[in-house]
């Protein structure tokens, strides 16, 4: 007589490792003072709805959703600025690909300005650039975006603080508890070591994990440079995330 059939569990998430990610309270990053917890933290098990929903249909994506050069532009026009390709793979801690993950990005335009009603930076808006895109990882975990190199911009953290050029990433798995948020910097940006947000990271290894190197093998001659940014969800080489200190 054979034993009972075991159904694998799809839920349950490992508690975050608070020694790995930046501390929630980092006074040089002034908004962290108000945003960080002021009382003892409580831990709750994830619910069934968090582990299994919501889901998204792959058919909702449009043909230009990963092309920020054209997805907001009028017919025959293109976003203004240095054209770049941002590509990479989403991997787990064993370097296995994570297919079917929804990646969303948002960024400032080439002048360092966001298309947002509360934006206070006086750099010009680009009428042909919306600043956001999305794609779904392929079977090998790969993704690709076409966009412009975002400009640095000042922010009211200190008297003369500037954010490095960066792109925000949201990684959405197969349940509510699987959404992770991070940001990508660019190799060689002199603002990186001066940024108070980057300064919250605890090691140069952490900074390097968020910095995309130039990838000349994926450039398009006379058109676009390329930068490679792999996202690792767990383990020793995991990417640093803003809203969770572990991976999926």
- Check 149, 153, 185, 244 and give the catalytic one: 153
User: What is the spatial distance between Cα 90 and Cα 84, in angstroms, rounded to a whole number?
Assistant: 19
Nearest to 105 by CA among 141, 64, 133: 133
Runs of H (alpha helix) within the chain: 31-35, 48-52, 204-209
- Check 87, 134, 163, 244 and give the catalytic one: 163
Residue 29 is among the residues annotated as catalytic for this protein:
no
User: What is the spatial distance between Cα 186 and Cα 154, in angstroms, rounded to a whole number?
Assistant: 17
- Check 168, 174, 218, 225 and give the catalytic one: 168
Residue 185 is among the residues annotated as catalytic for this protein:
no
Residue 58 is among the residues annotated as catalytic for this protein:
no
Residue 18 is among the residues annotated as catalytic for this protein:
no
Q: Which two tokens stand for residue 127?
A: 């009428």
Token pair 């930068």: residue = 227
Rg over alpha carbons for the chain, rounded to the nearest Å, is: 19
User: What is the spatial distance between Cα 127 and Cα 56, in angstroms, rounded to a whole number?
Assistant: 29
Q: Is 84 helix (H, G, I), strand (E, B) or coil?
A: strand
Q: Which two tokens stand for residue 85?
A: 């390709």
- Check 114, 143, 149, 185 and give the catalytic one: 114
Residue 114 is among the residues annotated as catalytic for this protein:
yes
**What residues are annotated to the active site?**
114, 153, 163, 166, 168
């Amino acid at each position: 007589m054979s034993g009972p059939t075991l159904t694998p569990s799809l839920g349950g998430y490992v508690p975050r490792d608070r020694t790995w990610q930046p501390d929630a309270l980092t006074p040089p990053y002034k908004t962290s003072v108000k945003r960080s917890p002021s009382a003892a933290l409580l831990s709750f098990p994830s619910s069934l709805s968090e582990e299994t929903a919501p889901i998204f249909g792959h058919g909702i994506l449009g043909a230009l959703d990963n092309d920020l050069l054209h997805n907001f532009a009028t017919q025959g026009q293109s976003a203004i600025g240095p054209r770049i390709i941002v590509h990479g793979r989403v991997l787990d801690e064993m370097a296995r690909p994570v297919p079917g993950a929804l990646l969303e990005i948002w960024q400032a335009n080439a002048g360092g300005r966001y298309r947002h009603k509360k934006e206070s930076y006086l750099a010009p808006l680009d009428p042909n650039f919306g600043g956001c895109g999305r794609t779904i990882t392929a079977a090998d975990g790969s993704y690709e975006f076409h966009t412009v190199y975002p400009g640095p911009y000042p922010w009211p953290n200190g008297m003369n603080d500037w954010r490095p050029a960066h792109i925000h990433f949201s990684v959405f798995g197969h349940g509510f508890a699987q959404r992770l948020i991070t940001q990508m910097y660019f190799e060689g940006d002199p603002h990186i070591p001066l940024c108070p947000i980057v300064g919250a990271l605890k090691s140069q290894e952490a900074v390097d994990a968020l910095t995309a190197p130039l990838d000349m093998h994926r450039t398009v001659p006379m058109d676009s440079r390329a930068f490679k940014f792999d996202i690792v969800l767990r383990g020793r080489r995991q990417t640093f995330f803003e809203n969770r200190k572990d991976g999926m």
